[in-house]
Structure 1
Amino acid sequence: MKPFAFITLLFFTIQHHSALSQEIELVYNSETLQIEQISPNTFVHISYLNTDDFGKVSCNGMIVINDGEALVFDTPANEEASAELLDWLENDQQTSVKGVVATHFHWDCLGGLNEFHAKGIPSYASYKTIKLAKTAGYPTPENGFKKKMKLQAGTTTVINKFLGEGHTKDNFVAYVSSDHVLFGGCMIKELGAGNGYLGDANVAAWSSTVRKVKTTFPETAIVIPGHGKIGGIELLDYTEEMFRGKD
């Protein structure tokens, strides 16, 4: 390897490691909801879904807070935890919740959506997600987009982009450009995870979709999977490898 290329690779490796080594701070904790701050503007909310096939499953969502405004990506898994989250945002953090985004149509993304709607908070998803949620009889996001949508929390921009099928036909990712944080949702696996639920998956397309995520957001330093521990770009590599050869 040429010296310049090695130095460049080393720099980005250090950058990614540095971002992940920043102390994760638990800022809220109850039996039904945890909230962790992982970067200056970005938080992870963790709630729990009882499933027939996998038992009690922890579910991740993302919160972006800046200049007194907040965006929520995937609701907590139920209305009780969603009400807790909104109470924390509005009363503890003194923020105005500008919107909630569902990154695909499964219950662990929008099970608490009615709590947001009851407060008049706008909800967003892809047109595919809206159609699939309506067909499933689930709470349904109100505002749709086709391929890409930008949202603002204060001066912080979040890019929502559909890059292909994988865990579901409608799964998309959300990228916080200022913090280099990618919310991969259930399309992205934590290290060591198995296949999980594949009932609505496009296994053949999954690996190539993750490759597109990597090339679209090359400055990603922190990755939030739909379930389990956050990490760096190794989560993208792990997920891509898991489904490679099935495309």
Structure 2
Amino acid sequence: MKFLLASIWLVVVAAQANGQTSSPTAGQVVYQSGDLTITQVAPNTFVHTSFLNTQSFGRVACNGMVVRSGAETVVFDTPTSDKESKELIRWITTTLHCKVNAVVPTHFHEDCVGGLPEFARNNIPSYANQKTITYAKQRKFNVPQRGFANSLTLDLGGAKVYARFFGEGHTRDNIVGYFPADEVLFGGCLIKELNATKGNLADANLQAWPATVTKLKKACPNLRVVIPGHGQVGDTSLLDYTIRLFQQ
């Protein structure tokens, strides 16, 4: 982890030298309340972390991602409730002085869609894998507004951000977010932090999981930062760990 943060710090320093950003140091907590933490992990990428109370795993910290270009942002996964989502939207608009162009849940579980009503109240469109919409309706979870088949490209202040389905794993609808400007991947619950257990397997495809992550790794060979759905941010070693974990 120290090596990763040092590597990202060099990226931040280079960007600052080129006049691209005056953001805080990578890995620095830039906002914290009782229920929401926001941490910068690259020049224009932030992790938002909120908490979900579960019967099986207790109080679980859940990650999402915010990416920024110019005065625009895209959010991957909502915080776990409307309250924390309201905090996140307020922080983006008042601290980053940015507009939220879209929110993209990476699968249908509550830790991804729990705050969708607050985004809708702020007229922020939500996009998701069409399967996510189907499963959310079946389970009576919050339902994203707009569906796509396998991939989505969003314009972001002159940059691009991508959402893509590489295959089944944690769920049959799980997608990932990729922001080439920072070479950051939001793996969501498809990707495990180092030394994690297999976690919630209620909707998983265990046989497909390692092949899906292998395909993802080949498609994104230059990643600097990998954000899992739960736990510590890392690098591509998280992809390798996840592959090994589900090959067992």
Structure-2 change in CA distance of 1:20 and 1:53 (3 Å): farther
Q: Deviations over 1:176-218 (max 9, x none)?
A: 0111100000000000100100000000100000000100111
Deviation at 1:156, TM superposition (A): 2.3
Distance 1:63 1:172 in 2: 16
Deviation at 1:126, TM superposition (A): 0.5
TM-score, scaled to structure 1? 0.91
Q: Deviations over 1:95-151 (max 9, x none)?
A: 111000000000000100000001111000010001001111111111111111111
Deviation at 1:20, TM superposition (A): 7.2
Secondary structure of residue in 2 paired with 1:32: coil
Q: Corresponding residue for 2:200?
A: 197
Secondary structure of residue in 1 paired with 2:203: coil
Distance 2:51 2:166 in 1: 27
Superposed counterparts of 1:207-226, under 5 Å? 207-226=210-229
Amino acid at match of 1:18: S
Q: Deviations over 1:19-65 (max 9, x none)?
A: 37764111101011000111111100000000000000000000011
Aligned-residue Cα RMSD (Å) equals 1.6
**Structure 2, gaps ≥5 residues long:** 13-25
Q: Deviations over 1:146-182 (max 9, x none)?
A: 1111112212211111010000000011110111100
Distance 1:104 1:116 in 2: 17
| 1:48 has 2:51 as partner | yes
Secondary structure of residue in 1 paired with 2:207: helix
Aligned counterpart in structure 2 of residue 86 of structure 1, from 81, 89, 101: 89
Distance 2:186 2:202 in 1: 22
How many residue pairs are counted as aligned between the two chains?
Answer: 232
CA contact (8 A) 1:47 1:77 kept: yes
CA contact (8 A) 1:20 1:222 kept: no
